[in-house]
Amino acid sequence: MAKTARPRLSSTSSRVSAGFAGQLIAGAGAVTALLGTFGSGFEYAGAALLVVGLVISAPDAGAPGPHLTGWWTMLAVGTLACLIGVVVGLVLPVIGAVILSGGAIAALIAVCLGAPVSGDTTASGT
């Protein structure tokens, strides 16, 4: 039986930019924050992941996404809304949950419409 060599990945397909990794982390944080109805630990973990993803994706903030030019600004506003929702939720749980959910949905929209597509793993397209 003859061995076949595995095709090598090109240098552009094997690397993932920090911005794209940050978008993935922020997306996971938004989904986790939306699971907050199962316990406040999900809200806190989701908000923390959103902040981490936002900070990691900051280097690609100026690069337009394929469908949303201001994706990073929208991600930042959604993250801020989630943080405000967590704080408000300590005093007024229902209102805090509504604010947190709105921020998480805004962050998810920013990640989905701002993430690079079709093999392009950098937000700048290079």
Question: How do the residues of the chain divide into helix, strand and coil, expressed in percent and rounded to 5?
Answer: 65, 0, 35
Position 123 scores a pLDDT of 47
Q: What mean pLDDT is predicted for residues 10-15?
A: 52
φ/ψ of residue 44, rounded to 5 = -65, -45
CB burial of residue 34 (10 Å; 0-12, 13-18, 19+):
buried
Query: Is residue 8 scored above 70 in pLDDT?
Result: no
The pTM of the whole model exceeds 0.85: no
Give the closest residue to 98 by CA, choosing from 112, 82, 80, 111: 82
Position 40 scores a pLDDT of 75
Q: How far apart are CA 27 and CA 118, in angstroms?
A: 18
Query: Is residue 37 scored above 60 in pLDDT?
Result: yes
CB burial of residue 8 (10 Å; 0-12, 13-18, 19+):
exposed
Q: Is 42 in contact with 33 (CB distance < 8 Å)?
A: yes
pLDDT tens track for 70-113: 899 999 999 999 999 999 999 999 999 999 999 999 999 999 99
pLDDT tens track for 16-30: 788 889 999 999 999
pLDDT tens track for 63-74: 888 888 889 999
